[in-house]
Amino acid sequence: MSYRRPFAPGEWYHCYVRGVDKRTIFQEAKDYERFLQLLYLSNCTEPIHRSNLKFHSPTDVFAINRPSVLTGIGAFCLMQNHFHLLVKETRDKGISAFMQKLGTAYTMYFNIKYDRSGSLLAGPFRSRHVSNDRYLQRIIQYIHCNPTELYEPGWKNGKVKNIKNLEQRLSGYPYSSLHAYQNSAAEERKLLDSSIFEVERQLPLRRMLAEAHEYYTTHENGKARP
């Protein structure tokens, strides 16, 4: 178990994992798609083997019935060499079991596909307790704004060349849960715990970017968390 203290039932946690030696863990679109499928399948108390399933599109897997989930997922974002998850402890040791299943399943897929062996992810996953609703909102924004640096590298320093283009690119990023927040009909919404929509705020994207920038600034400078 990677978290030094037990995860508290009903509490949210920001979990994040990097590739070993900061290596790339998603090399093409199919890798991201497989991870999202495993995000759904690994969040189950009973084993579900993807190799036994038949589906026509990557999102068909989200229609598979799961007897009971291990944890609640509130948000996610996959980047080339790391990923972020917002998860809730819904059963004893559920987060730890889920993260272990997810990491093992994806590492096996990646190693077979790219003919490699050994660890893919850098050690135990890291996590931080989300202590209140305000911090929960900031973490959701933080997670969803991670791709911003792909389009505006100077964003953290307050330098944005084209804000409209940034908003469009961020909304269209296919490997985060932002689209599921913006569109109630999105297939990826099935990955998420419905309770998250009872507490999250619907913000215009530009305001979300502004608040996320504030969080990035205080967080990375080591100041007190919101």
The tens digit of pLDDT for each residue in 141-153 reads: 999 999 998 999 8
Provide, rounded to the nearest whole percent, the portion of the chain with pLDDT above 90: 61
Q: Determine the pLDDT at residue 104.
A: 94
187 to 60, 84, 181: CA distances (angstroms): 9, 19, 11
Report the distance separating Cα 145 and Cα 201, nearest Å: 15
pLDDT of amino acid 220: 58
Rounded distance between C-alpha atoms, residue 208 and residue 178, angstroms: 11
73: which strand partners? 87
| Coil, strand or helix at 85 | strand
The pLDDT of residue 42 is 94
Residues of the chain with pLDDT under 50: 1-4, 222-226
* Residue 45 near residue 34 (C-beta atoms within 8 A): no
pLDDT at residue number 3: 40
What is the reported pLDDT for 219? 66
What is the DSSP code (8-state) at residue 121? B
- pLDDT given at position 54: 65
What is the CA angle 65-66-67, rounded to 5? 115
Q: What is the pLDDT of residue 67?
A: 86
Element at 83 (helix H, strand E): strand 82-89
Q: Going from the N-terminus, what domains does the chain have, and what CATH number goes with each? A: 12-130 (3.30.70.1290), 133-220 (no CATH)
